[in-house]
Amino acid sequence: MELHRIALTELAELLSTRQISARECVAYFIERTERINPALNSFVALDPDSAISKAGIIDDKRALNHNVGSLAGIPFGVKDLEDAEGFVTTRGSVLFANSGKAVQNSHMVRCFVAEGAIPIGKTNTPEFGWKSDTDNPVFGPTRNPYDLTRSPGGSSGGSAAAVASGQVPFATGSDGGGSLRIPASACGISAMKTSLGRIPSVSPVPTGWSDLSVSGPLAKTIRDTALLLDLVVFPDGRDFRSQSRKPEQWHQEISVKRPPAKAAFSPDLGYAPIDPEVSQVVGQAVAKLEEAGVEITFLDSLFAKDPLEEFFTMTHSYYAKMLEPAMSDPRYQMVDPGVRDQVEKGLKNSATKFLRASDLSFYMNQTLYNLFQEVDVLLAPTTAGLPPLVGGKQMIGGREVEDWVKLTYPFNMTRSPAASICAGISLSGLPVGLQIVGPHLGDLQVLSAAQSFEQILGTFRPEMT
């Protein structure tokens, strides 16, 4: 049985009904990872012995009819920006590469482990998650399972490549400027950035990108994603941004909620140059949705300007706050020059400049609020270009650019829920993502739309045996 090809719900059912054991399940995915990972470099640390041991304990408990959790025996990967007990959290940096092993789990890992899921290793990330290409000085680059010469995007590129290639059924990630949606698009899978505060940020110290970043899982489909979100989305008083939610189960509600009747489509958000191959695939996908009965409003413009400068004002400040104490460490000179440049710029930012950037976020959200009085969701390409070559230049339409993404960070600034599903495959053989955005706290609305659209457009898998 090809376990890597079936849905998370089906895999959980096979385990709960003892058609397969937890040992068999974990061993299957570990064998697959050990065979595939050398070509992809999606995992940077593995502990197969511990995973098999934990699977054995689950089998023993299940034999005694003990409650072992809804994900018992299912292995997963953990992005190397968050803690998983027994693994070093390197953050892709020489500053942390030799740190001690984590003694506790992050919020998401803790929730998944409580349901019996088993972390088998850490997935690669750019240093401190700073860019849309997964490469760092400690572990090197991760490659795209559709084309090993291409990037899987970032910053959750290791997790996305691991899921898309079937090394694990799901993995954890985070999204501060598109870091779930970009690699999901690049690797042909699905992802959801929840509204800020839906998934609590539980940490003994303030988080790095507090007003931009959210954690989240990466899985093959939106239904699998919703199942995982149901386990990690709830209010927590330790995070004063956390949001309450209704007792509904999202993975069940998305199948019964009315699909969106009206959607707006912005091909470029009003400011971004788009690669012709991306435009073609996304345009064809939107036409299919229209044929399926979705009323599409085409937008000539949306935002008055590219908010990249203001976004960087915020991220530069966050990196300066986070890394200024490390500047006296001799190893700091080995940190990625792009990260050090952000720190230097952040140290020069004024509080007024930061607050003005935050004000632009407010006005952008007002634009979206007005739009969502007329339509259910907003559609746009997930990325402006195709995934770049590993170590290569970022390109759009055959021309070198500084930013091949450009379309995701506005919705971190507005705190909006935003999903990415695969719109189709480009002429170059690379997946292209369709981004689906909803109003703040309209997460179920976005999930429902994403599942409906995913069923219309279909799903795609790289040919990795």
Pairing label, strands 418-425, 431-437:
antiparallel
Q: Is 420 a catalytic residue?
A: no
In whole angstroms, give the CA distance from residue 47 to residue 26.
Answer: 11
Q: What are phi and psi of 439, to 5 degrees?
A: -70, 155
In whole angstroms, give the CA distance from residue 162 to residue 123.
Answer: 8
Tokens encoding 413: 């600034």
Annotated catalytic residue, options 21, 174, 179, 452: 179
Is residue 127 within 8 Å of 37, Cβ to Cβ?
no
Tokens encoding 277: 């191959």
In whole angstroms, give the CA distance from residue 228 to residue 133.
Answer: 25
Amino acid at 247: P
The beta-carbon contacts of 47-54 under 8 Å, at least 24 apart in sequence, are 47/86, 47/87, 47/120, 47/121, 48/120, 50/86, 51/26, 51/75, 51/118, 51/119, 51/120, 52/23, 52/26, 52/27, 54/26, 54/118
Annotated catalytic residue, options 155, 195, 266, 361: 155
Annotated catalytic residue, options 21, 70, 79, 195: 79
H runs (alpha helix) in 115-212: 157-164, 181-187
β-bridge partners, 425: 431
Query: CB-based contacts of 237: which residues, under 8 Å, 6+ apart?
Result: none
Helix axes 22-40, 48-63, angle to 10 degrees: 160
In whole angstroms, give the CA distance from residue 202 to residue 221.
Answer: 27
Q: Can you tell me which residue has the tokens 């740190």?
A: 99
Report the chain's C-alpha Rg in angstroms. 21
Q: Is 165 a catalytic residue?
A: no
Q: Is 328 a catalytic residue?
A: no
Q: Known catalytic residues?
A: 79, 155, 179
